[in-house]
Every structure is written in structure tokens, then in C-alpha cells.
């Protein structure tokens, strides 16, 4: 059963798949800080996304679901 965005512990999200609308692949959660969920996508050339925590929709113990598309996630990409 999915959990509401506020009913998880940040450490529970580490190493879980990050997904967006339309089953978009947003990588794997590497870190959670006060403001962001930081994900990494790719094997060699890794993309890092700093997605605001308030964009988390649900957490189903295997995936962290965000309310954004893959295109929308590009605005949160950092080098």
C-alpha cells in the first residue's frame, strides 16, 4: 500500500527507484536532504537530479513516485 509523502523516513527512500508521471524513469535515490531528493540516472554518464521533496506523491516501499514528467525533471538536473 502506498504511503503518503509525509509518512516515510528519508532513509527509507535511499536506493529506491524514482519514478514520475507516465512511469518516467528518474533514476535511483542516492540522498535525501532537508529540501531535495537527489537521484542519479545512467551507468557511465550519470545525470543527477535535485528534485524538491514536496513533489513526492507516494512511496510504495520499492519506488518513490513524483508528480512530474521526465521532461519536467530536466529543470532539476545539475552537473
Tell me how many domains the chain contains.
1
pLDDT category, 1, cuts 50, 70, 90?
very low
pLDDT given at position 9: 86
pLDDT given at position 7: 66
Helix (H, G, I), strand (E, B) or coil at 43: coil
C-alpha cell at 13: 527512500
Structural domain of 21: 3-78
C-alpha cell at 62: 520499492
Listed in sequence order, the residues at least 6 apart from 44 whose beta carbon sits closer than 8 Å to its beta carbon are none
Query: The domain that contains 39 carries what CATH number?
Result: 2.30.30.240
Predicted TM-score (pTM) of the model is 0.87
Higher pLDDT, 25 or 4: 25
Amino acid at each position: 500500500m502506498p504511503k503518503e509523502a509525509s509518512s516515510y523516513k528519508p532513509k527509507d527512500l535511499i536506493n529506491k527507484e524514482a519514478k514520475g508521471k507516465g512511469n518516467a524513469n528518474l533514476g535511483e535515490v542516492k540522498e535525501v536532504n532537508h529540501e531535495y531528493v537527489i537521484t542519479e540516472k545512467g551507468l557511465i554518464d550519470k545525470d543527477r537530479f535535485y528534485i524538491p521533496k514536496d513533489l513526492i506523491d507516494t512511496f510504495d516501499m520499492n519506488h518513490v513516485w513524483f508528480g512530474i514528467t521526465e521532461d519536467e525533471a530536466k529543470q532539476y538536473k545539475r552537473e
